[in-house]
Structure formats: C-alpha cells, structure tokens
C-alpha cells in the first residue's frame, strides 16, 4: 500500500482553471501544497493520497490562479469620486497631484491598508505598485500576505505645479528621491519570505529629467531589479515631450537608452506608431488599465500593441481594484473599437489578467498558473450564486458573470490570507475607521482644489 503524502494544505474545487496553454478546465479537482509550492494540481485523487495538515473543501467552488495586477496604486483610493469626472487631465493635475503633496505618511498608510484589503478581497494575489511611502505599503503587504512588486514614485518636478504647465526639474530632488527608491529596494527586496520585490520607479516620461531616467536605469541594473513608468498617459505629457525633444514619449526613452525587457510601461494611451515600434523592438512590457481609459474617453491602440508583439497584461491603475471589472471593460472596449464580437475573448481576458500579467512582471515561471512547481497563489470563487448559475464551467462563466465579492478564499505563497471573505492579516473594521477619520481634513482639501466633495456626507457632521 502506498503511504499518503504529507502536505501542508489541500484545496479542492468543483471546477479548476489551471490556465495552462491547452486551456483545459478540470472538473472535480484538487490542489496540493507544501510550503509555498504547488505539488499537485489536477483531478481529485484517491482520498488516501494525502495526509494534509489542512483541507479547504471545494463544494460549489471554482479555483483559479490569483489575479495579477501589473499596474496599481493601492493608496490612491483617497481620490475616489474626486478625479473621475473630467479626469481627462484637469482633475488629475489640478486636484489629485496638488492634494498628494499634502497627504501625510500616516494617511498614506491608512489608505494603503484599505487598498491592500480591497485588492485581496477582489482576488488579486500579486500587485505591481508605484506610489509614495513604499515602505508602509511593503509593511502592510507583508502583514496581509500579499505578493507585491513595489517602487517608490521618483520624479524631479513639483507635481502640484504641473496644472500650470510649469516643469521645473530639480537635480537635488532627483537625487534625493532616487536614493530613497534605491534604499527601499535594498531594504525591502525579498522581505516577507520573498513576497516583496523592489522596482525603481521613474514616475513618468515628463516628470523626470533625461538625466534622472538614465540614472534610474543605471541604479536598477546595479540592483538587478526592473523599473516601472507611466508613458503616453496624457495629451499634456506627450505635448511636453514632443515640444522639448521632437519625438513621442516612448521613442524619447529609447533615445535615452532606457528601454528594455525589465521595464513595465503603464498606459501607452497616446502612443503613436513610432512609439509602439520602439516599445516592441526593445521588448518592453505593457500594463493595460482597461477601466480608467473608457472613463477618460480614450483607449490605447491595443490591437496594434498586440500585433506588434508587445507583452501586455491587465491592470487597474488607481482607485479601482477589481480584476473582474478590468476584464469586462477590456472585453467591451476592444470589441466596440474593433466592431467585432470576436476581437477579445473571455478566455483571453482570463489569461490576460493571470498568466500574461505574470509575464509582464517577469514572473511567468512562478505565478499565474495553478501548476505543479508554481508558487501556491490561488483563489476560490463561490459559484453557487444567483448571478452565476447555471455554472457551465466555461471561461465565459467567470469572465462575464463572476464578481469580486464571489472570491471567498485567497492563498498566497502557500498561506491562507483570506478565508470566508475575511482577510486574516488586516482588521477590516479598524482599517475602515482609520480612513473615515481623515474625511474632514480631506474634504476640506478637495473642496479648495475644486474637487467634488458633498459636505453633508461626512458622519462627523462636516
């Protein structure tokens, strides 16, 4: 008789989406985990196969790899409803950028905690974040158990002056910020049993001088980490780069010698053919934030991006942390743009937000699939819901019908981080209260900057 194999965790499922290249979906399945690794994923074996320390049953559940968010700002939720309408540029520059300058470390910490909570509850198991206070985000990710690539937002202009079209690059600010970015990578890279990876984050093509872009490249190479930058995000950015350098923003980065396969570019919304050609020829990775683009009334040329062979994955950008919303917005927008219902399929959307996003982050060998030898990063979805039945176990069943609130279990690096929708490492009540506490000060700030605050809404009577 064969002795049962000792494992740490057995996760069962009525339906398993391993996200392998053969697109197979397995019914009545199970996933066996030892430490942080998947040691088996496939049809249920004989019940004497495993000696598991813990079992998560799979009745009425689908299991798939956790979603990978290849461009996020966990703490940016502070601007929810403040820069959505009119976000084509005005509110971003006049409200958000000016408000950011006055937000304290403690406030960013409180926002980041709720952002991380929101991401885990929505089904993300990995994020790629660039923002202020990366140290506090890393701390929270370690506490909560979320896998994260994190960069400090490095720039050398006064973001709060950009709404006046004032670009004053300061080399002192550049050195100071780049140093903090480098120190962050040195201190936090590998923390949390490998959950945290550092990146260097030159914020955007126009908010860093040429010298800063090049120095960021040099430092990232020394540290052997990737970089993360916003490119061709707004018409203003493109106009500034064109007026100064006579080329589009991606060609500009190519001429600086800083494009390579370790760089993740977010947006490419206003990228032209020459920009896309430059990105493709240097093997740059691309984060496609499908929820924010329709909201701003513009959409990147994703068909051309795909045709040129640029590796891209789905992302959320800021304020919205919902991978299901990201998939459906991409499905709707790409089909409308193409005028074809086959332009982007539900299967592509699910691969786009798991395995392809993992490729964007250089993690294709370890996450994004439920496969033997991969890291145990997976989620369980409750499929016994009025909006999901009858569940025919297709890719379409998840891509069109599942909701973030259906994610009931999250396992990251082999550890259960959410059970029955309770995120174990974060006290949800306290986290929400901490954010509510900041409403009076923030409302005042947003109002002064032309935000959309309704004074009567604050529970404190503000």
Q: Which residues would be at the binding site for Zn ion (CB under 5 A)? A: 317
Indicate the residue among 200 and 388 with the shorter CB distance to Zn ion: 200
* 52 vs 130 by CB, closer to Zn ion: 130
- Which of 317, 377 has the CB closer to Zn ion? 317
Residues 227/202, Cβ–Cβ less than 8 Å: yes
Q: Which is nearer to Zn ion, 320 or 378 (CB)?
A: 320
Nearer to Zn ion, 275 or 317 (CB): 317
CB of 219 to Zn ion, least distance (A): 21
Q: Which is nearer to Zn ion, 30 or 275 (CB)?
A: 275
Instruction: Provide, rounded to whole angstroms, the least separation between the CB of residue 96 and Zn ion.
Output: 11
Structure tokens at 26: 């397995």
Residue written as token pair 């570019």: 265
For helices 235-245 and 249-256, the axis angle rounded to 10 degrees is 50
Cβ at position 150, least distance to Zn ion in Å:
14
Neighbours of 28 (CB within 10 A): 12
The Cα–Cα gap between 159 and 101 comes to 8
CB of 130 to Zn ion, least distance (A): 7
Instruction: Please state the closest distance from residue 321 (CB atom) to Zn ion, in A.
Output: 13
Nearest to 152 by CA among 98, 232, 229, 90: 229
The DSSP line for 267-323 is E-TT--HHHHHHHHHTT-EEEE-TTHHHHHT----HHHHHHTT-EEEE--EES---H
Q: What DSSP character marks residue 455?
A: G
Helix (H) or strand (E) run with residue 337 in it: helix 323-338
Minimum CB–partner distance for residue 10 and Zn ion (Å):
38
Q: Nearer Cβ to Zn ion, position 64 or 289? A: 289
Find all residues with CB under 8 Å of 102, minimum gap 6, and list them.
Answer: 445
- Whole-angstrom CA distances from 285 to 119, 166, 230, 288 are 22, 30, 12, 10
Contact criterion met (CB below 8 Å) for 116 and 140: yes
Closest approach of Zn ion to the CB of residue 287, in Å: 8
- The minimum distance between CB 266 and Zn ion, in angstroms, equals 5
Query: 374 near 411, Cβ under 8 Å?
Result: no
d(CA 454, CA 161): 26
Q: 229 vs 409, which CB is nearer to Zn ion? A: 229
> Closest approach of Cβ 76 to Zn ion, in Å?
8
Q: Which CB atom, from 230 or from 415, has the smaller least distance to Zn ion?
A: 230
- CB-CB contact of 323 with 330 (8 Å): no
Token pair 């509510």 is at which residue?
A: 436
CA atoms within 13 A of residue 458's CA, in its CB half-sphere: 16
Q: Which is nearer to Zn ion, 204 or 417 (CB)?
A: 204
Using the minimum distance from each CB to Zn ion, give the nearer residue, 118 or 317: 317
Q: Which residue is nearest to Zn ion (CB)?
A: 317
CB of 401 to Zn ion, least distance (A): 28
Minimum distance of Zn ion from residue 317's CB (angstroms): 5
Measure the N-to-C terminal CA separation of the chain; round to a whole number of Å. 71
CB burial readout 371-404, b (16+ within 10 A) else e: beebbbbbbbbbbeeeebeebebebebbbebbbb
**Integer-rounded Cα radius of gyration of the chain:** 22
């Amino acid at each position: 008789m064969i002795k049962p194999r000792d494992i740490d965790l057995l996760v069962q499922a009525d339906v398993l989406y391993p996200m392998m290249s053969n697109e197979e979906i397995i019914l009545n399945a199970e996933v066996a985990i030892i430490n942080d690794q998947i040691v088996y994923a496939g049809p249920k074996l004989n019940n004497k196969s495993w000696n598991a320390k813990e079992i998560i049953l799979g009745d009425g559940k689908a299991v798939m790899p956790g979603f990978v968010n290849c461009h996020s700002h966990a703490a940016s939720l502070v601007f929810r409803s403040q820069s959505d309408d009119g976000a084509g540029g005005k509110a971003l520059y006049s409200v958000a950028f000016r408000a950011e300058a006055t937000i304290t470390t403690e406030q960013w910490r409180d926002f980041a905690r709720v952002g991380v909570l929101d991401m885990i509850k929505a089904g993300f198991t990995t994020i790629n974040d660039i923002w202020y206070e990366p140290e506090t985000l890393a701390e929270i990710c370690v506490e909560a158990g979320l896998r994260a690539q994190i960069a400090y937002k490095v720039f050398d202009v006064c973001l709060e002056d950009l709404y006046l079209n004032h670009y004053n690059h300061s080399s002192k600010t550049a050195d100071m910020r780049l140093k903090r970015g480098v120190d962050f990578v040195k201190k936090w890279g590998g923390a949390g049993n490998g959950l945290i990876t550092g990146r260097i984050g030159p914020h955007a093509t126009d908010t860093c001088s040429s010298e800063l872009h090049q120095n960021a490249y040099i430092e990232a190479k020394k540290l052997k980490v990737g970089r993360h930058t916003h490119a061709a995000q707004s018409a203003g950015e493109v106009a500034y780069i064109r007026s100064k350098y006579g080329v589009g923003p991606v060609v500009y980065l190519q001429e600086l010698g800083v494009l390579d396969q370790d760089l993740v570019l977010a947006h490419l919304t206003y990228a032209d053919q020459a920009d896309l050609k430059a990105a493709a020829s240097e093997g740059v990775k691309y984060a496609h934030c499908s929820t924010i683009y329709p909201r701003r009334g513009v959409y990147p040329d994703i068909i051309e991006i795909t045709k040129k062979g640029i590796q891209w994955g789905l992302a959320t950008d800021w304020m919205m942390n919902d991978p299901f919303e990201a998939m459906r917005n991409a499905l709707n927008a790409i089909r409308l743009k193409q005028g074809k219902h086959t332009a982007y399929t539900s299967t592509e959307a699910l691969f786009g937000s798991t395995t392809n996003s993992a490729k964007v982050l250089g993690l294709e060998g370890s996450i994004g699939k439920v496969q033997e030898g991969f890291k145990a990063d997976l989620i369980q979805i409750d499929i016994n819901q009025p909006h999901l039945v009858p569940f025919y176990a297709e890719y379409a069943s998840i891509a069109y019908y599942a909701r973030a609130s259906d994610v009931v279990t999250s396992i990251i690096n082999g550890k259960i981080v959410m059970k029955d929708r309770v995120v174990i490492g974060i006290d949800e009540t306290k986290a929400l209260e901490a954010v509510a506490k900041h409403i009076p000060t923030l409302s005042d700030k947003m109002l002064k900057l032309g935000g959309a605050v309704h004074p009567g809404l604050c529970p404190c009577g503000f």
